Structure 1
């Protein structure tokens, strides 16, 4: 970390934000902190604690008439941003302060090339010729270590990987060398190796430009790896602040201790006793190839063959959890889609309860679909916003011929099983928190009484305390119902605590497969060891508030 100047770049003093109109509700209550040049301040806390509202207030991006600053000051190099005009604020954005958003695919314009979007900032805030701007854009793309910057410059967002899009966002934010960089959960959806690369990149660019960084995250491992100081937020207030090592090793607030205790350990849990239960999911020689074989790409050329899954095989027994881990693009989600028969496999066998379902027609497959159900990553997109929770839950069994009344009673029972009141059945998805919506998604999968649950990054977007609750819920449901779980994740901490066995994938192939204690505790493959080394905060035992004994 760099030596910090005495004068703060950003100073937030007694900031209060409330909902607009009559019956205003406080969102932020007297938030105060400062950040100096070359320093990284992390804001942490549960969903709804006010972290993102703080960042949006700083950038002047609060939704008008819905949220408004009611008290306090936000000073950027001494200028109070709460008193500037909209035109002055637009001049400051990009030029003096910039923001990296959580999801670059929604923040980037899908119909503009990457180069054109970065160039737009230069055209707005700098007086440079077209050739000078292009040189500056290419240099910015090179600084964030993107390959073949000329190609990236002319590419559209959908043509880049998730990590490349996030790097492009960082290049756009830093092209004008702002004094303040706000990063709102920029690594949440990234695998551990890409996440480590992005964190290293931000640190290096910060050291190079002396930028002050406000970093918002719910990942305590990221906090340990990148922060100089940390502010813990709860219900719109700062409950604890201080140097990162001091807060993590000697937390004063009970809320901080609870957050740290909820962080899953990288040390695998004690293995559960082996079971003689029947195999409910058997995959042998699974292969999925996209393109080729007569397909056509643009300009009527034969489509290039892409092997997404190649020779994967495993056995999953009732009451057990198999974790599938690997980098983005390793084939994890394609594997899940093949198992669910959302895409047709190109080869190999998939047996559900002994029945080979890999080659069944859609009609012949229907009786078997209820045996294997999926929990998606984002329940807000997988739940119909126009249907009550009850209607969403009973839709599946009613489609399979179950009586509506019986299904409705079953839905109420399942809501209580996943920790929600039975009267929640008449509410709509937007009336629940993210963690509650994920519980609803679990109930919707369970109502079909499946043999197998496929969970595709089901807890990756949740904060640590809600994540811990959902993981305990899955463990409890598995104990009660004996359901098998295929758990797709990029979070090795989660995999270490919930999975009985681990399958590691790279470029569509299996590189390691075995009991969790062996694969994560004593990995044989270099690739698995590299994943473990990239895990943020790997040398810290958060629940014990101290470095790991083995570190």
Structure 2
């Protein structure tokens, strides 16, 4: 793989964090959140901050923006933007500086954009607050920056609200807002994590293109080492508030010095598929000509129809995993929700052990519900924040007549299975990390002893090491319990590691279906090839670090 080899030694320094220390002053005995870190970014350079959740990446970015929560205090060091120390500035001075000289793109644009304002007005609002341009000039510059971020049909999108745009289009609007005033520094905090691979590639290329055009320094925060391979000039690896290693991207990815860096690289899933499980004749789920059509109604005029799923058919045997991959809007989650009967299919059959559940009433469906369980992408939204973990886990079994004592015993056993202590049952969701919450969500699904588990983007928001742990957990549970898994993902590396078969969907239709090894190694359809080519760092082999890491674990010094 060809890494970036640009030299920035002669470029002026855009940002310099020197011995930056952040504390939790009201929490005695808690370690420092940032422990005297040093980061330098030169004009036109992209520095990637990488590390697991809790490593201090986002705290670093928030400190630079002056947006630290009240509980966190900068206890020492400097943050120099073109030589100016930002730490002594007042909130009013920082507000003047934001967007004009330093701007930020967040992970989820839907929460960062105002849902009741048209996106064009939101871009113009940035200029209204920081410039004296006329309304006509603000509009002209807003349209110009929207064209620069390659948005289609700019006049229409200018008048649109955030909910009327796709995830990739909303992220492009955020980039336009961030760059419209040509800031010195752009901070991108996990801006592509929730995007499918083709949209992700477009956003990465866009940031690189605009960076070269405007000479912007970029601080890019990510846990995706494939993204690092694509975009970074320099990499800083963070762990527990410290930078454990830094250097040019090629040095970090080819010759890492720190054990922690090697373990991060070893956790990146490979595009090389695993050995498939043996297929049996025990078909537990069969989907035949499944269709889901939206629209077509309307009081005053007939609305156009949208085929979210069109004649989707497949079968799944016990103990195997079927992956459904594709871009956002391809119909993956629609198929998953139809299988779960969270939405009703327009037509087709969904047979669970020979029983068609596609048209069953709510009452008729209840006996089959426990045999179909789901794990969603965000466990924080699917776990009740007011309930203890024990209450969440035993709710399902109690609804189906399991005695409380027996349900509690099973919940305690499953805590051990998913690698959490038994006293976790007394705690609440907010007291766990994202990876731990996802383990709890898996335990809750397994409590029902299902025949089929639907995992809808269940690991896409997790950092690579936690992602690897959750994938291993699902694999072990499948081996132990014989569960059939429908795995929805936009990450082809993840699909390669867990799936026996793969379905590729585009615009509601299945365009390719076959063994994971055959589909991913020798794709027949142009769309599948495009997905594989868009995978970040696709031609970089991270697996040599996996063998190194396993060797070190087996033979510690």
* TM-score > 0.5, shorter chain as reference: yes
- Work out whether residues 102 and 188 of structure 1, in 8 Å CA contact, stay in contact via their aligned partners in 2: yes
Say if 1:374 and 1:456, in contact at 8 Å, map to a contact too: yes
User: In 1, distance between residues paired with 2:412 and 2:23?
Assistant: 36
Structure 1 residue 501 corresponds to structure 2 residue 501: yes
Corresponding residue for 1:123? Answer: 128
Alignment of 1:458-477 (within 5 A): 458-477=458-477
1:402 lines up with 2:402 in the alignment: yes
CA distance in 1, matches of 2:119, 2:107: 17
| 1:75 alignment counterpart | 80
Contact in 1 for aligned 2:263/2:545 (Cα 8 Å):
no
- Are the structure 2 counterparts of residues 521 and 139 from structure 1 closer, same or farther at C-alpha, using a change threshold of 3 Å? same
Residues 398-417 of structure 1 deviation map (CA, whole Å, 9 limit, x = unaligned): 11121111111111111111
Aligned to 2:308: 308
Do structure 1's residue 58 and structure 2's residue 64 form an aligned pair?
yes
Aligned length: 540
1:14, distance to aligned residue in structure 2 (A): 0.4
Aligned to 1:549: none
| Structure 1: runs of 5 or more not aligned | 547-551
1:84 and 2:89 matched? yes
Structure 1 residue 302: Cα displacement: 2.4
Instruction: Judge conservation of contact 1:45–1:51 (CA < 8 Å) in 2.
Output: yes
Match of 2:243 among 238, 241, 246: 238
CA distance in 2, matches of 1:306, 1:499: 29
**Cα offset for 1:277?**
4.3
Q: Deviations over 1:357-379 (max 9, x none)?
A: 00111110110111110000000
Equivalent position to 2:187, from 176, 182, 188: 182
For 1:336 and 1:426, the matched residues in 2 are separated by 32
Q: How far 1:6 sits from its partner (Å)?
A: 3.2
Deviates more, 1:79-88 or 1:159-168: 79-88
Alignment of 1:389-538 (within 5 A): 389-538=389-538
Of 408-417 and 160-169, more deviation after overlay is shown by: 408-417
Q: State the shift of 1:87 in Å.
A: 1.4
- Asked if structure 1 preserves the Cα contact closer than 8 Å seen for 2:308 and 2:507, the reply is yes
Which residue, 270, 279, 283 being the options, matches 2:283?
279
Separation of aligned partners in 2, 1:109 and 1:203: 26
Distance 2:301 2:80 in 1: 57
Partner of 2:40: 34
Aligned to 1:341: 341
- The 5-angstrom pairing of residues 215-226 of structure 1 reads 215-226=220-231
Secondary structure of the equivalent of 1:351? strand
Partners of 1:248 and 1:545 within 8 A in 2? no
Contact 2:322 2:487 in 1 (8 A): yes
Residue 271 (structure 2) aligns with: 266
Q: Verify the 8 A CA contact 2:276 2:499 in the aligned structure 1.
A: no
CA contact 2:103–2:187 (8 Å) conserved in 1: yes
Matched, 1:99 2:104: yes
Alpha-carbon offset, residue 481 of structure 1:
0.3
State the 1:337 CA deviation: 0.4
Which residue of 202, 205, 225 maps to 2:207?
202
Look up the match of 2:54.
48
In structure 1, C-alpha distance between the alignment counterparts of 2:76 and 2:223, rounded to whole Å: 27
Mapped partners of 1:150, 1:414: distance in 2: 54
Per-residue deviation, residues 236-280 of structure 1 (Å, max 9, x unmatched): 0000000001110000000000000010001112233x2324111
| 1:250 and 1:545 in contact (8 A); partners too | no
Say whether the 8 Å CA contact 1:3–1:38 is kept in structure 2: no
Select which of 137, 143, 161 maps to 1:138: 143
Q: What is the TM-score when the length of structure 1 is the normalising length?
A: 0.97
What SS class does the counterpart of residue 82 from structure 1 fall into?
A: coil
- 1:20 deviation in Å? 3.0
1:152-176 CA distances to partner (integer Å, 9 max, x unpaired)? 1111000000000000000000000
- Secondary structure of the residue aligned to 2:543 is coil
Q: Hey, what's the Cα distance between the residues in 2 that align with 1:228 and 1:77?
A: 20
Query: In structure 1, how many angstroms separate the alpha carbons of the residues matched to 2:334 and 2:477?
Result: 26
Q: Closer, same or farther in 2 for the Cα pair 1:22/1:359, shift >3 Å?
A: closer
CA contact (8 A) 1:322 1:487 kept: yes
| Helix, strand or coil at the partner of 1:83 | coil
* Counterparts of 1:93 and 1:102, CA distance in 2: 18
Cα distance in structure 2, aligned partners of 1:243 and 1:185: 20
Scaled by the length of structure 2, what TM-score is found?
0.96
SS in 2 for 1:284: strand
CA gap of 1:396–1:545, structure 2 versus 1, over 3 A, is closer
1:179–1:212 CA contact under 8 A, matched in 2: yes
